[in-house]
Structure 1
Amino acid sequence: MSHASLPLMVLSDAVIRSLLNYGEVIEIVRAAFTADGQGQATVLPVVGHSLSGGQYSIKTSHLHLAEHLLVFGLKMGSYYPDNAGRNLPTHSAVMLVGNPLTG
């Protein structure tokens, strides 16, 4: 039995920004907050920890906006204020999204 697999897509910040339309983003964010207010989102407790002078957190949720827009996701972000003195970004994050119907 053969299973087709999809490659993992890794998009840079520049690519993501080039694909976004500000007006559409505002509408999607508005729809997401509305869906959350109507009980169509599951937001799990944030996991956070301090480490080596910085902090990181893990956030995860599931969202059902419409039949064609179902998504679950995970975001891990960090904040290291001392990085400013190292010429490194103080904030960083990575996000994973998936289809809850297929995983």
Structure 2
Amino acid sequence: SPVAVRADLSAAGTEERQQRSTRSVLALLQRQGELDVRVEGAKGTLASSVSVEWLFKELDRSKKGYVTDTDLWNFVRDLGSSTPLRSITALVCELQLRL
């Protein structure tokens, strides 16, 4: 019957959407893992003599008393990176969620 055919098509469409969503989530998790590896590698390049206070002063150039996503963005741009601001903002949001 037409109703049964529509139900079958609807179920197939729902299953396909779920598979696409699952693949998207897995791709995001893979990308996050790759980025985590890069962050850990970068942390290893920091000299042990670099103090948190020095780093904070370096990032907070306008002496606001806190560091913003724009401060981080300017810092990485000064180092030659072309990282978009939205990526830095996403990083800051992720850090805030983990605190």
Q: Which has the higher helix share?
A: 2
What is the TM-score with the length of structure 1 in the denominator? 0.27
What is the TM-score with the length of structure 2 in the denominator? 0.28
Q: Which has the higher strand share?
A: 1
| Rg larger for | 2
